[in-house]
């Protein structure tokens, strides 16, 4: 069973409530769509991509790299950037 970052679990009841927002003729399609959702961990994927970027020639000898997220401090870009603050470097 999926549990979100806010600790809210996806349950049969929450799925039923989600589907209820659609007209009857779209509920089966919405349920099928839900079956195709895959859980991703954007922080892990972003960290891997960022480490790979830092291994590129233009970044190898830099002591620090600025990462500037776009959006408000409450946006996900800001949270992801915060979690990248201590990315380990291959050379250090």
Instruction: Yes or no: say if 17 and 9 are a contact pair by the CB < 8 Å rule.
Output: no
3-state secondary structure of 3: strand
Q: Is residue 34 located within the same domain as residue 1?
A: yes
pLDDT in tens, 19-56: 999 999 999 999 999 888 876 677 778 788 888 888 88
5 pLDDT band (50/70/90 cuts)?
Answer: low
Q: Is residue 68 located within the same domain as residue 35?
A: no
Question: How many separate domains does the chain show?
Answer: 2
Q: Is residue 6 located within the same domain as residue 26?
A: yes
3-state secondary structure of 9: strand
Domain that holds residue 3: 1-39
Q: Is residue 30 located within the same domain as residue 49?
A: no
Q: Is residue 89 in some structural domain? A: no
Task: Please tell me the predicted confidence (pLDDT) of residue 38.
Answer: 73
């Amino acid at each position: 069973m999926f549990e979100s970052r806010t600790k809210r679990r996806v349950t049969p009841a929450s799925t039923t409530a989600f589907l209820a927002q659609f007209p009857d003729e779209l509920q089966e399609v919405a349920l099928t769509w839900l079956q195709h959702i895959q859980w991703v961990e954007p922080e892990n994927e972003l960290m891997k991509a960022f480490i790979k970027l830092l291994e590129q020639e233009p970044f190898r000898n830099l002591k620090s790299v600025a990462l500037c997220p776009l959006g408000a401090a409450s946006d996900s870009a800001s949270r992801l950037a915060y979690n990248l603050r201590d990315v380990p470097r291959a050379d250090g």
